[in-house]
Copies of this chain bind each other. A is one copy, B any other.
Amino acid sequence: MFESAEIGHRLGKSEYKREEPKLRQALLAAQYALLENGKFPVIVLVNGVDGAGKGETVNLFNEWMDPRHVHTHAFGLLTEEERERPEMWRFWRALPPKGRIGIHFGSWYTDPIVQRVLGKDKRAVFKQRLEHIRHFERMLAAEGALVLKLWFHLSKDLQKKRFKKLAADKRTAWRVTKEDWKRFDHYDEFRDVCEDALRETSTGEAPWHVIEGWDHEYRSLTAGKLLLDAINRRLKDGPVAVAPSAPPPEPSIDGRDVLKALDYKAKLPPKRYDRRLDEAQARLAGLTRSKAMKDRSIILVFEGMDAAGKGSTIRRLTRAIDARFYRVIPIAAPTDEERAQPYLWRFWRHVPRHGHAVIFDRSWYGRVLVERVEGFCQEGDWMRAYHEINDFEEQLTTAGAIVAKFWMAVTPEEQLRRFKEREKTPHKRFKITPRTGATARSGRPTSGRSAT
């Protein structure tokens, strides 16, 4: 994979001088066309070998384009708030909104590669992490994002030469640290692992571009033209078609399903209910105060038909726990900041820190429920959502979250009866809106879009 970036690519200074102003003007125009179009974000990953000009290129991008609409993020050590959440949280947090360019200096590739080189991750774990990355990038592409992955490479000889040159000059000596030399000693392992990573993640929707990093002129012009072409092509051709990672679940062919198989007449006598509720609430209160919660978080999801009792069930739960411990997130219509991001972004932003609970009243399942049923999203969107949701929840649990999901079911007849009751009972009235009323008869899961 790196051979083509070890052949001594060079560009004459005079050619650079001729080409650079043209490129610069074209990039600026492309950036403004993107801003005006406003339909997709551009995510540029800048990775590669130390000394291969990553930083210089990022600075050049910011110089060539209007830096007011470029979001540059360098990912260093994890902060406290990041450490207590899934690995990808910091990257979700840094995603550029539609119309903007985000440059990620260091990215979701850095840690898997480093851990593998250091031997801390076994090969199987490494492969698995690469698979997660493929899914993540496929999701980004499917959401319309343009993902441009640049890898800056130097051969072993040239990296050594670069370090020596930098170290010899007083003005640049600070750029070569002991760490850099230490890493250089592992050049060969590093190269092997990176080659693996690139090969396995160079997909149709997000291919890698390897750039030889020695010659400033060649490197800069190549990187700039890649960015320019990518934006212009995307503006012209529209989004690439992305095949979903996995097929959605098969529909039932015998007409049976879990919801139909439920016993809707199941009852608990009031006295037993009161006793068992008390017991359960006391137990819950104790558990949330347990020391073990220090490294865990709780994420609860409530879905189901309107008037099936989501709100009141949540209140039975929250009554048992300290208000400082939990947060309830009612999922209503997305804000404009949320609409400018991939679908799951609005849920990622609420992922709790350790020692805390978040209760979702409606959730990411809206994608495969109300949005699917009412046509708020395309077929391709909800088809791929099944797999994306699995990925998301896996990341949550891997980071120590306890994820529990509840489906509240009610028959169409009972739902209608409750709607009518609500109309009559004053303090329940605020829960009834034209939307919920309209779909009552069908018994289908509805809204999650009204504010109540």
Q: Which residues of A contact B (CB under 8 A)?
A: 25, 28-29, 32, 35-36, 55, 58-59, 61-63, 66-74, 79-81, 103, 105, 174, 289, 311, 314-315, 318-319, 322-324, 326-330, 335-337, 361, 426-427, 430, 451-452
In the bound complex, do residue B72 and residue A174 qualify as a contact, i.e. CB atoms below 8 Å apart?
no
In the bound complex, do residue A323 and residue B72 qualify as a contact, i.e. CB atoms below 8 Å apart?
yes
The residue among A73, A315, A324, A451 with the most chain B CB atoms within 10 A of its own CB is A324
In the bound complex, do residue B324 and residue A66 qualify as a contact, i.e. CB atoms below 8 Å apart?
no
Q: A55-B324, A66-B311, A105-B324 are in contact. List 5 more A-B contacts (CB 8 A).
A: A32-B430, A67-B323, A70-B328, A79-B80, A103-B323
A29 to B452, CA, bound (A): 12
The residue among A59, A74, A330 with the most chain B CB atoms within 10 A of its own CB is A59
- How many copies of this chain? 2
**Residues of chain B contacted by A105 (CB below 8 angstroms):** 323-324
In the bound complex, do residue A323 and residue B61 qualify as a contact, i.e. CB atoms below 8 Å apart?
yes
Give the contacting residue for A327; candidates B72, B330, B426; CB below 8 A: B72
In the bound complex, do residue A58 and residue B323 qualify as a contact, i.e. CB atoms below 8 Å apart?
yes
In the bound complex, do residue B315 and residue A58 qualify as a contact, i.e. CB atoms below 8 Å apart?
no
Q: Which residue of B lies closest to A32 (CB)?
A: B430
Give the contacting residue for A324; candidates B58, B322, B328; CB below 8 A: B58
In the bound complex, do residue A67 and residue B289 qualify as a contact, i.e. CB atoms below 8 Å apart?
no
**Residues of chain B contacted by A426 (CB below 8 angstroms):** 29
Q: Which residue of B lies closest to A332 (CB)?
A: B68
**Residues of chain B contacted by A330 (CB below 8 angstroms):** 68-69
Q: Which residue of B lies closest to A59 (CB)?
A: B323
Q: Which residue of B lies closest to A76 (CB)?
A: B324
Assuming the contacts A35-B451, A80-B81, A427-B28, asked whether A328 and B59 have C-beta atoms less than 8 A apart, the reply is: no
Give the contacting residue for A67; candidates B32, B103, B314, B322; CB below 8 A: B314
